[in-house]
Structure 1
């Protein structure tokens, strides 16, 4: 279990900077090559750059990428979204070349990822780009505010294992600070509004009221073999 520090993390954020920083420092060293999912925002990319890693984005992992047969999994793996602007000084080099094998891939998935993302494609893409010993870390969460439980963790694990990635661990990432041995929930206004809507939807038909989401989930996988070895 990872705590978030003194400040609460907005559970609406797909790429919370404290979690991106913790994953980057835990699973890579300075100078490492890191890929983030294509939906990564600039704050996440800047956080990785500030930790002296070479970073770019991995195309094709956005939530609506269920087109399946339209492109092979190896096409256009790296986009140019992480190219720094002239106003943003960053260490050189800052981008990961398309053919590079990388030390770390970070992906953020929504609760309904099993229905909206081609998880098998994601896992194959990651396995093809990770060097021997490289890490795939998937940040996600479960949700039942729509009246049913959405939990993508089982489907993500199955897809990664089908791509011959080694499942290492499941890390619970707290969104709320721990003070005096207790979680101190401090939801943002947007999260509080969503919670009240979900609570109303549950109470009206007599269902149990939902809880505020206090944590996310990180699934960690390793590349146990040399992806290029079979072609040597």
Structure 2
């Protein structure tokens, strides 16, 4: 909710009172891609309390889960090594050309930025090894283009669930731009496969891109979390002026 408090027409100075729903998760919730949407969602719900390595990256959807598994297996050894600039003018590791560091424009030359990502990687591994974790992954339905893609994704998901702890869980929301009939044949096949993989919860999410843009409508995020059955509890709302 946004309530106007002050408006000065001459200077166009304006201030709003924001009242936002806030939640406390039962376990640590870690966004793992394939893009920034899961981290943004958790941030808007005030669930995201610290930064992790996959928060603000952009990974080819079919490669997203495998990318996370690979970095777990090698302790992020190649995460930011052998960096190059790709054809989109974004920085990637030559080991993982499918993943772009779209926000860290100075990653190649700035050691502070490198250390920031190393710290996030360390925090991820500590949580992965020592705490019950709920992993949150967004899969755009537009990124599924063949049965081979579905097979590859489901194998990657199955491999990932074998790496996580018994009490950990992977939550996947398949993202649609305008309606759940997009890419319907492959979407249905994907959900059939996901339903047979242990430690996985899945749900459909429509962001209504034409109306709300890249992030969708934040007021729909609580319903998404509920559909996924991520264990959270509502707490006092976040109130601030901006």
The interval holding the TM-score normalised by the smaller chain is 0.3 to 0.5
If the length of structure 1 is used for normalisation, what is the TM-score?
Answer: 0.43
Q: Greater share of strand residues, 1 or 2?
A: 2
Higher helix share: 2
TM-score normalised to structure 2 length: 0.41
